[in-house]
Structure 1
């Protein structure tokens, strides 16, 4: 089931101004490890290549005390970055400045045993092609 809420760009692994941004979230009925495997499998099964896997939760935990915080944000959180040549070409032919959205990302987060898969909610228009692709990947992962 998907929910929409605001999440900070950091949670999505993006370099963005400190403003709230909508995300589309999917509850995952299983472990974090199973969810990350399912997301990775769903991305690869679409013929896409994962450019980078960011271990965002590990970084946040590792640096927590260094930045003077005692707040544990996630038990685990990873972000998968990838692109689609076909979809990217479509959205950038519509507007070359859609490059700002590339690469695309899907995250998996575990907070107190609740595992969530999510991605950005993109603006209306051509970027809905990207949102559809990410939704297909997330849906395939939660049904894995």
Structure 2
């Protein structure tokens, strides 16, 4: 059965469901979890902004995303370890979320991806997209989708 789960999370309430279910599943299967968070890259500088000021903005962005990823993954790890589930955390900083998820799953040797979906459709999906659908179309691994 499955031995290594990749669980992309973002710190949202809905992602907490993916954490909970994946920990329960991994515990029952004797599997390990790789928690994964993709942080957004820094925005490009405004045309009129001075380079020194933009470097400050970049440093603030880097500090903010590093702290966010660390906090989210630390909480996930604490829950997994409390349940006796081996855990490792990974991060990426990119706007290509789906590609990062698929590449990380392959690189880490995962055999199942567990994702949560917001259940968007219609205009909402058009405006916000669906990372879950993007992963589904790009990955050859099984994908467990939670709603």
TM-score where L is the length of structure 2: 0.30
Which protein is richer in strand relative to its size? 1
Q: TM-score, normalised by structure 1?
A: 0.30
